[in-house]
Amino acid sequence: DTEVTQTPKHLVMGMTNKKSLKCEQHMGHRAMYWYKQKAKKPPELMFVYSYEKLSINESVPSRFSPECPNSSLLNLHLHALQPEDSALYLCASSQEGLGQADTQYFGPGTRLTVL
Amino acid sequence: RKEVEQDPGPFNVPEGATVAFNCTYSNSASQSFFWYRQDCRKEPKLLMSVYSSGNEDGRFTAQLNRASQYISLLIRDSKLSDSATYLCVVTSSAADSWGKLQFGAGTQVVVTP
């Protein structure tokens, strides 16, 4: 089973709202990732957690705040977003920790619209 | 120059025909290679890893040419359900890349009845 789940599937929020995206995997994977994908573009890496520690932040604005409560869960807290942040937010996981050229498995994504 | 480049297409393919397309990569330290497919408004899904000796999975064949730094994907006997965007993905174990995925922009394939 290579399932990564994400909630919610869709989210509409105003620029003053605070919301959170959730991601879960029960495959025992040690690395988890957040990506942002705009229409007709490839996914762009935002954050990487390896062994529950933040290993990579790709210069993401502070209005995006990741959290890894345990090895199976990954959250992305959103606050004061801009309309240009509207996108598909994808979570992924891979078996090995960061630094290994390993297969990543993606969740279905959360389609975010910021009004 | 982009690290991973693909022909965006679209490749319009009659049902039952064969289609092939390539992806070039610029980092000679690249170690792992994958093809993902992505349907409209869905997540990328792993189609196949690409091995040095080339590999086949049913109607799909992937090849790696390290000397010329490209990988290819061939789809035989195309089905309507093969219509998707095919993402070329490359990783490097170099310290500054940390195994991060480098995505191509994708090649769109449209299979027509």
Q: What are phi and psi of A85, to 5 degrees?
A: -80, -5
pLDDT computed for residue B31 by the predictor: 81
Confidence (pLDDT) at B98: 65
| pLDDT at A100 (0 to 100) | 63
pLDDT reported for residue A102: 78
B49 touches chain A (CB under 8 A): yes
pLDDT at site A89? 98
A108 touching B, CB under 8 A?
yes
Beta-carbon pairs below 8 A across chains A and B: 53
B104·A42 Cβ contact <8 A: yes
pLDDT of B84: 97
Q: Which residues of A touch B100 (CB under 8 A)?
A: 45, 48, 56
pLDDT, tens digit, for every residue of B56-65? Answer: 999 999 999 9
CA distance B110 to chain A (A): 15
Given CB atoms, is B101 within the 8 Å cutoff of chain A?
yes
Q: What is the pLDDT of residue B42?
A: 94
Which residue among B42, B46, B93 sits closest to A101, beta carbon to beta carbon? B93
> Which of A45, A103, A107 faces B49 most closely, judged by CB atoms?
A103
Encoded amino acid at A106, one letter: F
Closest CA to B71 of B2, B19, B5: B5
Which is higher by pLDDT, B93 or B16? B16
Query: pLDDT value at position B60?
Result: 98
The residue with greater pLDDT, B103 or A96, is: B103
The partner residue sitting opposite A43, judged by closest CB among B34, B44, B93, is B44
A99 vs B44: CB contact, 8 Å cut-off? no
Q: What whole-number distance in Å separates Cα of residue A105 and Cα of residue B54?
A: 22
Mean pLDDT of B94-103: 72
Alpha-carbon distance of A54 to A112, in angstroms, equals: 23
For residue A13, the model assigns a pLDDT of: 94
Whether the Cβ atoms of residue B33 and residue B22 lie closer than 8 Å to each other: no
Q: Residue B96: is its pLDDT beyond 90? A: no
Please list the rounded mean pLDDT of every run of 10 residues in chain A (115 residues). Answer: 89 94 94 95 93 92 96 96 97 80 89 96
Q: What distance in Å separates the CA atoms of residue A14 and residue B76, rounded to the nearest whole number?
A: 47
The pair of three-digit structure tokens given for residue A20, joined into one six-digit string: 């959170």
Among candidates A55, A58, A70, A84, which has minimal Cα distance to A23? Answer: A70
Do A10 and A114 form a contact (C-beta atoms < 8 A)?
Answer: no
Contacts of A96 in chain B (CB under 8 A): 99
CA distance B31 to B15: 34
Rounded to the nearest angstrom, the minimum Cα separation between A65 and chain B is 20
